Amino acid sequence: MKIYYSQSWEDIEVIIKALQINGSDIVLAITSSGDNIFGILLKEPKIIYAVDKNPCQNALFELKIKSIELLEYEEFLQISGIKVSKNINKIFEKIIPNLSQFTKNLFQKNKRFLRKGFLNIGKFENYILFINKFFLPFFISKGKIGKMFLFKNIKKQREYYYKKWRKDLYPLIFKLFFNEKLLRFLGRDPEYFKYLNKINMAEYYYKKAENLFLKSPVKDNFYLNYILTGKYNFAFPSYYLRENFFKLKTLLNRIKIINSDILSFLKNTENVFTKFYLSDIFEGETLDYFKNTFAEIINKSKKGAKFIYFNHFLDRIPENKKIKIYKNIQLENINRTFFYREIITGEIL
C-alpha cells in the first residue's frame, strides 16, 4: 500500500454545489487525500464519516488533521509544502508523537519523503512534479505559463491561448505524458485501469484542459496552478486559506475516519446518511460492486439524500426507481479540473 493522492483533484466547488451541505447533514465521503473532506467540513455538517480502503490515505488525512489541530498557520503552510521550511524537524516534533501508531510508523520511516511537504507526496502529485520539473520547460516557457494566470478578462485569456499556447509544443505534452500507459505505471493507481477498454485518454484530457483555458478564468484555478508550476504561486487552495484554517480547527471533532471499503462499511453501519461524496471509486470496482453499493446507499439513506461521484472512463450510472439522476450542465461549466469525463449527481427518492 502507498499514498496515491496527496491532494484532491475533484473540484471542491462542484462537490459543495451538488451536495448543498447543511447543519443537520450526516455525510459519507471517500477520504482520498482528505482535502475535499476539509472543503465539505467548512460547510459545517453535523458529522462526516471519511472512509477509505487504503489505510495510508487515511493516515495522510490523520496527519493533516493533527497539523491543523496543533500548528500555527505559518507552520501548517510549511509542513504542507506550500511554503519552504527551515525548521521542519521542530514542526515534526509537534506532530509525530500525537499520531496513531500506524500513522507514526508510516511517516517516521519516511521523514525524508515527508520533508517535501505532505501535499507533494502522492504518486500522482510526484508524477505531476516530475513532468513539471524535467519536461514542461522544454515545451512551454515559465513566462508563458505565468502570464496565463494574470488575465482578468476571459476574452484576452482565450486570445492569448490561441496565439501563444496552442502553437507551442504544449499539446504534445498531453500525448506524451497523459496517455494511459504512463499514467497507469507512473501516475495513478493501476487498479483504476482494470476494467478499461482501449481509449485515447491523452486526446480526451487535452480537449478538456483546452476547454478550461478557453472558457473559464485561469487566474483563480488553484488546480491548474499546481499542475503547471508545481506550486501555489498564483492561486491558493480555498480550504487552506488562513480564515478557513482557523475555522477548521473548531470543526475537526466532526470527522470520523474509517478504514474500510465503502460497501462493507455501508453493510455494517447503523447510521443513516443524507449526503454522499464517492469520488471516482467505481472506476476500480466491478459492476456488481457498483450496483450493490447503490443498493446499500438506498438502504442507508434518508429520503432526499444527495450524492455525487465522478466517472473517469467507465459508464457507471445507477438504474433504480428509487434514484433520480440530475442533469449537470451547470456543474460541468464551473468545473476547474480535467481528469474526469462525467460528473454524476442525484437524489434518493
- Please give the torsion angle defined by the CA atoms of residues 300, 303, 307 and 311, in that order, rounded to the nearest 10 degrees: 80
Contact string 53-92 vs ligand SAM (x = CB under 6 A): xx--x-----------------------------------
Contact string 285-324 vs ligand SAM (x = CB under 6 A): x---------------------------------------
Query: Which residue bears the cell 505531476?
Result: 128
- Say whether 134 sits in a helix, a strand or coil: helix
Residue 103 contacts ligand SAM per CB under 6 A: no
Compute the least distance from the CB of residue 201 to ligand SAM, in Å: 14
DSSP assignment of 162-217, as one string? Answer: IIIITTSSHHHHHHHHSSHHHIIIIIS-GGGGTTPPP--HHHHHHHHHHHHHHHS-
Residue 6 contacts ligand SAM per CB under 6 A: no
* Residues near ligand SAM (CB under 6 A), total: 19
Compute the least distance from the CB of residue 53 to ligand SAM, in Å: 4
CB atoms within 10 A of CB 97: 9
Instruction: Output 34 or 78, the one with its CB closest to ligand SAM.
Output: 34
Instruction: Output 153 or 268, the one with its CB closest to ligand SAM.
Output: 268
Residue 32 contacts ligand SAM per CB under 6 A: yes
In 3D, which of 175, 74, 187, 176 has the Cα closest to residue 122? 187
Compute the least distance from the CB of residue 41 to ligand SAM, in Å: 16
Q: Answer whether 33's CB lies under 8 Å from 62's CB.
A: no
Residue 11 contacts ligand SAM per CB under 6 A: no
Residue 280 contacts ligand SAM per CB under 6 A: yes
CB atoms within 10 A of CB 132: 17
In 3D, which of 129, 308, 318, 339 has the Cα closest to residue 231? 129
Residue 284 contacts ligand SAM per CB under 6 A: yes
Q: Which residues bind ligand SAM (CB under 6 A)?
A: 5, 8-10, 30, 32-33, 51-54, 57, 261-262, 279-281, 284-285
